[in-house]
A = this chain, B = another copy of it.
Amino acid sequence: MMRLTYLLPAPMHATELGETEMRRRAGLLAEWSPPGTEITVSAVSRGPVSIESAYEDYLSIPAMADQACASVDAGADAIVVGCFGDPGLDGLRELVRRPVIGPSAAAMSLAASLGHQFSVVTVVEGVRPLLRRLAWEAGLSDALGVIRAVELPVIDLNRDHERAFSVLRGECERVLAETDTDTLVLGCMSMGFLGAAERLTEELGVPVVNPVRAAVHQADTLHRMGLAHSPRAYRTPAKLRQGTNRADLIRTTDAPLEVTP
């Protein structure tokens, strides 16, 4: 039995998608999980509406870290970061000794095992450098073909699923026609919850990896094998090791201060 927290970096319950979408996602996660998985979809109280830039990626981390720690304290066995940008993955792993899965790393890693070159199709141009870095962090730069963006804001993607699918499929076909790519990764969790990967795998004749499912299965694999990320790679911050409370890592004053020589 695995208690899995799917951690949303945004307060989705305070956006137009709302709790309804959270429940829909929880349902899909349950459907996609191996038997014996208890799914919780958890949304932070404070964070970016959606993540389409490095800046928004960073904005999401402090609240996610709090929530990840709370989840583990409450008994979660594993955490999946609910954003393809894997925001704060190394930071979260420093805090928590349960598997913390970045869907980007999980999906790229699975894709690399299915062929010789994988490519990523994502939503907005602005995250391409970020995704290239994630491929490097996963040790997979050599297996990465191209990263393409369909320029479909996450919000729109959630509004008109059929149009999103069609735009996505067009870009996937272009990638296959123009490069040696043999395996595709959908570079956005909302794409994953569209069920697009499954349809594309069928229609394009090459494996198209759904990052949501790749992440869930990596969590399950690690949980069953009794493994988590290495403490030598993600060390507990020195101050925490020495007994400081996590809350005391941060200091707040009334105002910034500017001095000149």
Q: How far is the CB of A34 from chain B (nearest CB, A)?
A: 5
Q: Which residues of B contact A19 (CB under 8 A)?
A: 257, 259
What copy number does this chain have within its complex?
A: 6
Q: How far is the CB of A8 from chain B (nearest CB, A)?
A: 9
Q: How far is the CB of A56 from chain B (nearest CB, A)?
A: 6
Q: Which residues of B contact A92 (CB under 8 A)?
A: 55
One digit per residue, 1 when the CB lies within 8 angstroms of any chain B CB and 0 when it does not, for chain A 67-97 equals 1001000000000000000001011101100
One digit per residue, 1 when the CB lies within 8 angstroms of any chain B CB and 0 when it does not, for chain A 25-67 equals 0110110101110111111111111001111111101100101
Partner of A225, one of B29, B105, B217: B217
> Measured between alpha carbons, how far is A110 from B257 in the docked complex, in Å?
31
> Measured between alpha carbons, how far is A95 from B45 in the docked complex, in Å?
24
One digit per residue, 1 when the CB lies within 8 angstroms of any chain B CB and 0 when it does not, for chain A 120-132 equals 0000111011101
Is A257 a contact of B91 with CB atoms below 8 Å?
Answer: no
- Interface pairs A-B: 5 shortest CB-CB: A139-B143, A115-B233, A53-B237, A182-B232, A115-B230
